Amino acid sequence: MKRDQRPGAGAGKASGAGAGKVSGGRARRLSGGRGRRKLSAVAADGALILYFVFALFPVAWMVILSLKPADELFSTYFSFTPTLDSYRTVLGAGDDQGVPFLRFFLNSLVVSVGAVALSLVIGLPAAYAAARWRFRGSENLMFTLLSFRFAPELTVIIPLFVLYQRLGLFDTYVGMVWVLQLVTLPLIVWIMRSYFSDLSPELEQAALLDGYTRKQAFFKVALPLVKPGIAAVSLLAFIFAWNNFVFPLILTSSNAQTVTVGALSFLGGDRPKYNLTAAAALVSVVPPLLLALTIQRYLVRGLSFGAVKS
């Protein structure tokens, strides 16, 4: 038998065997790494599912309460005979319970839409001016405006109550629309200011060169370009106005009372009616939800407007 006498033949076989061992070890490490990553991904998905169930459980429990009959209301079991009597009472026969919930619902629509509309009329020009003209103290002025939004409502509710009593604005639509400007107007001005800042000033300068006035450039050039932002901020302002609780609680009694306070009226009496309260709360969620679904296309574009700059 002849032995291979070529130089480096033995070394080549040894190196080939070593390379095979190295590649095999690398493959095992890669497969082990992929297995660990897959396991961590499954654990993360499981944690998200658990959090999702935890977050939605109160909503599911409210749905169960709203479908329970009165005689099974205080049972903690999930087996019961579902009924829509709570919704019929809230929507059709609320006056039998001494709670005109439908009127409260309409009041919320009127004051929320009115507050957002007034805030847009005042806030859009203010946001445009804040984005285009800077002067000494402008940032302090904007921060002061923003402080009205984040200041606790209880700090101003007592002087507002006294003023509303003397001016005749207590328990009126005008008074509620006016006081909700503390909630909606700073939000609209601050958010729309960033949208207008992302627009190139050359667009308006070109319009001015074409003979447009500053007012025409604002309405015909700037506003159409920020329509997605207007839709997004209008939805956010509507939700904040709709969900407000402190101002309707103190500044209204019955004529202009909203659903956030009216839904709690079912808890009065010798025996709280939790099924009616749950049904009223779920009904009050419908307008913001429908509005969000209606302007969903503009909402996504508005929230991502200006996120990526060239």
Contacts (Cβ under 8 Å, ≥6 apart) of 203: 221, 222, 225
Q: Once rounded to an integer, what is the mean pLDDT over residues 75-80? A: 73
- Lowest mean pLDDT across 118-122, 183-187, 255-259, 302-306: 302-306
| CA distances in angstroms from 79 to 56, 58, 94, 202, listed in the order given | 19, 17, 27, 66
The CA distance from 35 to 43, in Å, is 12
268: how many CB neighbours lie within 10 A of its CB? Answer: 12
Ranges 89-93, 94-98, 104-108, 216-220, most confident: 104-108
Q: What torsion do the CA atoms of 234, 238, 240, 245 make, to the nearest 10 degrees? A: 160
Contacts (Cβ under 8 Å, ≥6 apart) of 15: none
Predicted pLDDT at 28: 62
pLDDT reading at 178 higher than 70: yes
Predicted pLDDT at 250: 93
Residue 98 confidence class, pLDDT cut points 50, 70, 90:
low
pLDDT digits (tens, 9 = 90+) for 221-280: 889 888 888 988 999 899 999 999 999 999 998 889 999 998 888 887 667 788 888 999
pLDDT reading at 112 higher than 90: yes
Predicted pLDDT at 121: 94
Q: What six digits make up the tokens of 138?
A: 């402008």
Contacts (Cβ under 8 Å, ≥6 apart) of 25: none
71: how many CB neighbours lie within 10 A of its CB? Answer: 9
pLDDT reading at 18 higher than 60: no
pLDDT reading at 20 higher than 70: no
Place of tokens 């509620």: 176
